[in-house]
Amino acid sequence: MFRKEFDKYNWNEISQSIYSKKEKDVLNALSKEKINLEDFKALISPAALPYLEQMAIKSQRITQKRFGKTIQMYAPIYLSNECQNICTYCGFSLDNKIRRKTLNGTEILKEILAIKKLGYDHILIVTGEANKTVGMDYFKNALKIIQPHFSHISMEVQPLEQKDYEELLNSGVNTILVYQETYHKEEYKKHHPKGKKSNFYYRLDTPDRIGKAGMHKIGIGALFGLEDWRADSFYTALHLQYLERTYWQSKYSISFPRLRPFSGGLEPKVEMTDKDLVQLICAYRILDEEVELSMSTRESEVFRNNIIKLGITSISAGSKTNPGGYEVEPQSLEQFEISDERSPAEIASLIQRSGYEVVWKDWDRSFIS
């Protein structure tokens, strides 16, 4: 289990190590064909900022070598905003007084048809964490409706048991995303005071359960703004390398969510600038040429316009982060505010003008069937 490796490290020592990196450490990392975690620390350190252009060039070269000039497009479908957790940063938090909504079968189908009209064949199912009302029975029924319409199905829901992930795999799910939010144990407790999500280690163990279930792809990451992004990024990289060694049959993805406003509005404890995020994306790509890097509509139009060529392999567009947002109930509360509100067609056109091919259909199923 990853927790054994995680417990060998001390947050403050990792942070100090990152911030102590010098220019020579950055240049040494950039000179290597294959870097290690010490080199990764150098590339996410303040000392690497003057070398952002060199990092970007290297990241672009590595990405094109592995993925070609392609960008996968996906859309989230929010099925429920019911949640039994209190999380300080989330619009769906139990203590946030909003009207709760869980889509029924008819409503799910309406949302699917609206998403299909936008051109999508890759969908991400998202819910709040409410095991009793939005649990395995609900997921299996929803998947019976969703599965015939999409070639690739991802899910971002509450952590489950290994047997549940095995059932989801058999029901047509290709990818499970589960974000630790922050790897800082004390800060994690502050932001998750109530609900099953308050158990730090149960969440930390989740990718192990997903890997043991044989899931095709596993997505991990941290929510930037809760704690120092550099230390959280190191722990994410440590987690990624452990998973790749242990569950080598699975593919992996990393997302880069920055804390966004919601109704209640937690301000970021630590700011992550656009330059910082570019630095991190490039550092991850230089560390790992196989990992998929995903960018959501949390980010601004200008930022997303410029990030396409730097290492990102998948991107969302036209996203609705509320249950029924595409067709059934467009005005319900969003989980977080969208920054880039352009349509999928507009984003596809941007990608093509950048010299890249838009991939609407994920062909993984043909390879694994």
- Are 142 and 124 within 8 A, CB to CB? no
Question: What confidence tier does 153 reach under pLDDT thresholds 50, 70, 90?
Answer: very high
Least confident of 110-124, 162-176, 218-232, 296-310: 296-310
Handedness of CA 322, 327, 329, 332 (dihedral sign): positive
Q: Could you report the per-residue pLDDT of 235-274, keeping only the tens digit for each?
A: 999 999 999 999 999 999 999 988 865 444 677 788 899 9
Q: What is the pLDDT of residue 34?
A: 96
Calculate the CA dihedral of residues 292, 295, 296, 298 and round it to 10 degrees: 150
Question: What confidence tier does 365 reach under pLDDT thresholds 50, 70, 90?
Answer: very low
Calculate the CA dihedral of residues 292, 179, 258, 142 and round it to 10 degrees: 80
pTM comes to 0.93
Q: Could you report the per-residue pLDDT of 340-355, keeping only the tens digit for each?
A: 888 999 999 999 999 9
- Name the residue type at position 329: E
Whether the pLDDT of residue 369 is over 90: the answer is: no
Whether the pLDDT of residue 367 is over 60: the answer is: no
Q: What is the pLDDT of residue 260?
A: 65
Distance of alpha carbon 51 from alpha carbon 333, whole angstroms: 41
Least confident of 63-77, 191-205, 352-366: 352-366
Q: Which helix (H) or strand (E) holds 218?
A: strand 217-220
Q: What is the pLDDT of residue 314?
A: 94
- What is the number of other CB atoms lying within 10 angstroms of the CB of residue 249? 8
Q: What is the pLDDT of residue 142?
A: 98
Q: Which domains does the chain have, with CATH numbers?
A: 2-368 (3.20.20.70)
Least confident of 177-191, 238-252, 274-288, 338-352: 338-352
Q: Which residues of 55-93 are buried (b: 16+ CB within 10 A; e: fewer)?
A: bbebbbebbeeebeeebbbbbbbbbbbbbbbbbebbbbb
Distance of alpha carbon 13 from alpha carbon 150, whole angstroms: 45
Distance of alpha carbon 102 from alpha carbon 297, whole angstroms: 23
Q: What is the pLDDT of residue 337?
A: 62
Whether the pLDDT of residue 363 is over 70: the answer is: no
Please state the rounded mean pLDDT for residues 144-157. 97
**Pairing state of beta strands 175-177 and 251-255?**
unpaired
Q: What is the pLDDT of residue 249?
A: 96
Whether the pLDDT of residue 331 is over 80: the answer is: no
Please state the rounded mean pLDDT for residues 139-168. 97
Alpha helices in the chain (DSSP H): 2-6, 11-19, 23-31, 37-43, 52-67, 105-117, 136-146, 162-170, 185-191, 200-204, 206-212, 229-246, 274-287, 301-307, 344-353, 364-368
- What is the number of other CB atoms lying within 10 angstroms of the CB of residue 201? 13
The residues with which 293 forms a beta bridge, in sequence order, are 254
Please state the rounded mean pLDDT for residues 190-194. 92
Which are the contacts of 9, defined by CB distance < 8 A and separation ≥ 6? 235, 238
Question: What confidence tier does 334 reach under pLDDT thresholds 50, 70, 90?
Answer: low
Q: Could you report the per-residue pLDDT of 58-114, keeping only the tens digit for each?
A: 999 999 999 999 999 999 999 999 999 988 888 788 887 878 999 999 999 999 999
- Name the residue type at position 212: K
Whether the pLDDT of residue 165 is over 70: the answer is: yes
Q: What is the pLDDT of residue 67?
A: 94
Whether the pLDDT of residue 332 is over 70: the answer is: no
